[in-house]
Amino acid sequence: MSTVTQPLSLEEFRSRYRQQKPYFEYWFGEPIQKTMPTWLHAVLQGIMREALRRAGYKSGSEVELRIDPQWEPVPDVIATLKSIKDYPTEPVEIVVEILSPEDKLIHVIQKCHQYERIGTERIFVLDPVDKLAWQWKSGSLEAVTQLLLPNDAAVALEDIWRQLEEQA
């Protein structure tokens, strides 16, 4: 006989999973554990935060988005032109997801759909192992060679990959 688990309320989720690492995300009543980041993942996170800062954005990593009370993800990197005190409660301009070897593509695609649904302007997915990047556009991932940002700045991926090689 199988047991049916009831969806967690947001309050229950926060009390049970908020302080755990790797982080958990709240997906419509379910706790979803993020994959443990690799060294390349962590280095690329720092490089992207700095590249977005140089492009005119405020950036942070592993920040819980509190835009939709049914879905609270923890993106690898976010960037915004707005000031944020605690947690973003309105859409941010940029979300960057960095792949880890254990990540499942279907999960990444589902996340991109949700980021788009909550109003994220630019959604990027980066693969630090194969040095590939995609932008979420019109419901699918499209390969890109630069990150074109909402403020009309661009981040050259060849520079990002070079820095990753140097720092890894």
Question: For residue 158, is it within any domain?
Answer: yes
Look-up: residue for tokens 């390349």?
A: 40
Which residues 6+ apart lie within 8 Å of 146 measured at CB? 154, 155, 156, 157
Question: For residue 127, is it within any domain?
Answer: yes
The CATH number given to whatever domain includes residue 79 is 3.90.1570.10
Question: For residue 82, is it within any domain?
Answer: yes
Instruction: Read off the pLDDT band of 3 (50, 70, 90).
Output: low
Task: Write the pLDDT tens digit of every residue in 72-125.
Answer: 999 999 999 999 989 999 999 999 999 998 888 899 999 999 999 999 999 999
pLDDT at 4 over 70: no
Question: For residue 2, is it within any domain?
Answer: no
Question: For residue 19, is it within any domain?
Answer: no
Range of the domain at 127: 36-167
* Predicted structure pTM score: 0.92
Question: For residue 21, is it within any domain?
Answer: no
Question: For residue 25, is it within any domain?
Answer: no
Report the domain count for the chain: 1
Question: For residue 108, is it within any domain?
Answer: yes
Torsion of CA 151, 84, 136, 138, to 10 degrees: -80
Instruction: Read off the pLDDT band of 6 (50, 70, 90).
Output: confident
